[in-house]
Chains A and B, each alone.
Chain A
């Protein structure tokens, strides 16, 4: 009994405040030999989509912020680490096309930008067509439909929407006139979009008035001032983006006379109002050679890829090696992953070698992956606005949507 009490007294000692603080702040991950971050296979799962022959793996991101909390890795995408990691690289930019990389952006937001570019950015397109005379074989409504699809060079930000109760005026309507005739005896002629004439002073067609027309005859629009007195249109007149769009063909003796009114709209209502020819993105491809490809296998690999992603590198002493030269061009066709059908080895086959039929010898030696959160965006504009302006407007629209939700909730 006494010896036990003595032992307890020896063991009991005063724990200092410093030691208490140390014990409180102790983190097992601070120890020198504990590896930081995720193990490589989990890091692969978190950041890459692995493209197998059959289907992609790990495509849905683990978007839950605490997914790897037990390993001490913060998976969250909050404003601070988004601001730090987000990058944009412009690859090419012309008046109509743009290719740029967005790195560090979540896929839901990139898709939101794409959807807005296609469907919710406003633009100007012909909506109402007043047909005076149409003796061509193209029906009125077909002609009107075709006119609606012609892209116009007009900045929609300078115009307002025209609702049903509004009067068409110089702030919300653009008026075009088309009057073409194919004289008798002439060969058949084409009507191109260059023949659409812009009328900056508004409509020239008179409205039918019920009573006697003693008062001023009214036209279909009420322009208070001419549109080319605006500074924006003084130097760049409004016209179709392309001069050579074929609208109709006229035979001898046929005539088309019409007036077309263009208004502002968004792609959701009708695709003619979509300001992009198209906009798409793809994820950044990553091609990894899991083993050294030498000699004959290297040549086969280079020949198999339709996008010429691989290159041969001379290593001296006549040895050749395959390297991944242009992973960006990879279209993920998975030709390098497939088992092969003996087509490449065709020459060997004809020589009668038994191994030529069936599988390649180097199956499963190429890893095809896509990097999550790294998107290659391509925007092709129809000409009304340059693509970088379009993207900025799309981001603004998403901001406005958020704001309207917040104000609705408050």
Chain B
């Protein structure tokens, strides 16, 4: 829901329902990184109601577009986080497997070494 003025569409307040600090703070951060934004802030009118008001004021561009761009950028950052994380986890798992294999090989080698040695029986 956008509350703005019809004449000047560079200032607007967006009300999101069923959202809380989780999304609002993340979007606020990305919004403030945009150089077109002069005011990017959010407020939660009452903690019992699940509503967030996000205020966007820009230097001329329509506030809706700027807000949409911020959400879009947040989405892409998340995708990037996911891909980097997945890669790191696969690498870690591969590394662990390698270590386990190496330890097993080492153990096997030691066993063979002891087996081949002559042990004097008492």
Contacts and interface: CB of A to CB of B under 8 A. Distances in A.
A402 B71 contact: yes
A398 interface: yes
Q: Which of B67, B78, B96 has the most C-beta atoms of chain A within 10 angstroms of its own C-beta?
A: B78
Interface of B: 2, 14, 16, 19, 21-23, 25-30, 32-35, 64, 67-68, 71-82, 84-89, 91-93, 96
Contact of A120 (B22, B68, B96): B22
B34 A108 contact: no
Given A79-B80, A108-B26, A396-B78, 17 more contacts: A65-B32, A76-B33, A78-B33, A79-B73, A90-B92, A93-B96, A102-B81, A106-B29, A109-B77, A111-B21, A115-B21, A120-B22, A398-B23, A399-B79, A406-B72, A408-B16, A409-B64
Chain B: interface secondary structure?
helix
A392 interface: yes
A398 B73 contact: no
21 contacts: A64-B32, A65-B32, A77-B33, A78-B33, A79-B73, A79-B76, A82-B77, A86-B81, A90-B91, A90-B92, A111-B25, A112-B26, A115-B21, A115-B22, A119-B22, A120-B22, A392-B86, A395-B81, A399-B78, A399-B79, A401-B23
Nearest to B79: A399
A395 B82 contact: yes
Interface string A362-402: 00000000000000000000000000100110011011011
A65 B70 CA distance: 14
Contacts of B32: 63-65
A86 B85 CA distance: 10
**Residue of A78, A87, A108, A406 with highest tally of chain B CB at under 10 A:** A108
9 closest residue pairs by CB, A with B: A90-B92, A108-B29, A88-B88, A108-B25, A402-B75, A112-B26, A115-B22, A402-B71, A399-B78
A55 B25 CA distance: 24
A410 B80 CA distance: 24
Contacts of A87: 84
Contacts of A409: 2, 14, 64, 67-68, 71
A405 interface: yes
Contacts of A78: 33, 73
A235 interface: no
A406 B78 contact: no
Pick from A89, A106, A120 the residue with the most CB of B within 10 Å. A106
Interface string A15-33: 0000000000000000000
B73 A112 contact: no
Contacts of A109: 26, 29, 74, 77-78, 81
Given A76-B33, A398-B23, A399-B78, A405 B89 contact: no
Contacts of A102: 81
